[in-house]
Amino acid sequence: IGQNFTKEDLFYYIYGLLHSPEYRERFQNNLSKELPRIPAVKLFEDFMAFSKAGRKLGELHTNYESADLYPITFKEGDPKQKNISNPKSFYRVEKMKYAGQRQNVDKATVIYNNSITIENIPMEAYEYVVNGKSALDWVMERQTVTTDKESGIRNDANDYANETMNNPAHPLELFQRIITVSLETMKIIKDLPKLEID
């Protein structure tokens, strides 16, 4: 590269590069079989652009729980228009699901629980994919109540929301934050430089 940079710059260069759609497409066969190979880009300006993007992505992804709440639209159950006497009951989530039927799923609308349905979720938010699944799908899958068949152990996202976070709305707010993180991630990814390597 022929310019000065720090180990931290290099770390974030790698993080930025690993988010490049061009990199993933170009090396997809290798990535499915072995550890990623990290090529050096031709221009120092591109190195720094990947590094700066990687730094932004790293901060966004590690601080996702403090990301801004995406201003969702409530089809029903808008908390601002309700007198909520029992927040634990109002925000209790068993399993979030998309509106529509299996053949015609509406990902713009999520049925959070019997009281709350949110709509107008931007489709671009689903473009941020982690391990083959959108980040929003991961949240929906994890913010549930499940019981392990063998052990009988119950995993309840509401317990974490109420007891650890002291916020019954935590699963809903996490979903809102991940919309923000996903949209911001895709903005950064779309601004990455072209992958010019030897």
Q: Residue 187: which H helix or E strand, with range?
A: helix 170-190
Q: Which residues pair with 73 in a beta bridge?
A: 119
% of the chain at pLDDT higher than 90: 84
Q: What is the value of pTM for the model shown?
A: 0.91
What's the token pair of residue 145? Answer: 């109540």
- The confidence score (pLDDT) of residue 97 equals 96
b/e for 107-137, b at 16 or more Cβ within 10 A? Answer: bbbbbbbeebbbeebeeebbbbeeeeebbbb
What's the token pair of residue 70? Answer: 């995406």
**CA nearest to 113, candidates 127, 129, 93, 99:** 93
pLDDT, average across residues 174-195 = 97
Cα 79 from Cα 116, distance rounded (Å): 9
